[in-house]
Amino acid sequence: MRGVQGVGTILSGMSDMDQLRENIALFEREDTLSAEEDDALLALGRKLSSSKGVPCTACHYCVSHCPQELDIPRLLELYNEHLSRPSFAFIAPMALGAMPADKHPSACIGCGACAQVCPQQIDIPEALADFARLMGE
């Protein structure tokens, strides 16, 4: 199994047998990226990694470890939206307004159980604390 040059881990996000078969078939091939494709992918990665926010892939591994039962991927999505699109700063407060207070980012107790299983190595409690601060919670 080979991935993109310079990438050591691949997070596939498979959730059923058809997706597993598709991934196996994909990685059985010996295809590699052209130099142009490799450059474009690396440029995109640099752009994304320099943007504000956290690189959550919404894998949901964290959710089953959260004692507060927070929808962490949704909260991180709103956090990223709020940071990266200031002209849409009303979206996160509106979305949080539709959630019960015990599901807001301020409900995070900072235990870190979520961060321990995050394949992206996101400091989730820190991100949620920052989000809560930005929302005035």
CA-to-CA separations, 109 to 26, 64, 124, in angstroms, rounded: 41, 15, 11
Evaluate if residue 6 carries a pLDDT over 50. no
pLDDT digits (tens, 9 = 90+) for 36-94: 988 888 887 776 665 678 989 999 999 999 999 999 999 999 999 898 877 788 899 99
Q: How far apart are CA 21 and CA 57, in angstroms?
A: 21
Alpha carbon 52 to chain centroid distance? 13
Which one-letter DSSP state was computed for residue 63?
Answer: G
Q: Which two tokens stand for residue 16?
A: 């059923």
pLDDT at 5: 38
The pLDDT of residue 73:
97
Q: Do residues 105 and 94 touch, judged by C-beta distance below 8 A?
A: no
Q: Residue 42: what pLDDT?
A: 84
| Domain parsing of the chain, residue ranges | 1-50, 63-134
Q: How far is CA 20 from CA 3, 26, 117, 122, in A?
A: 16, 10, 21, 26
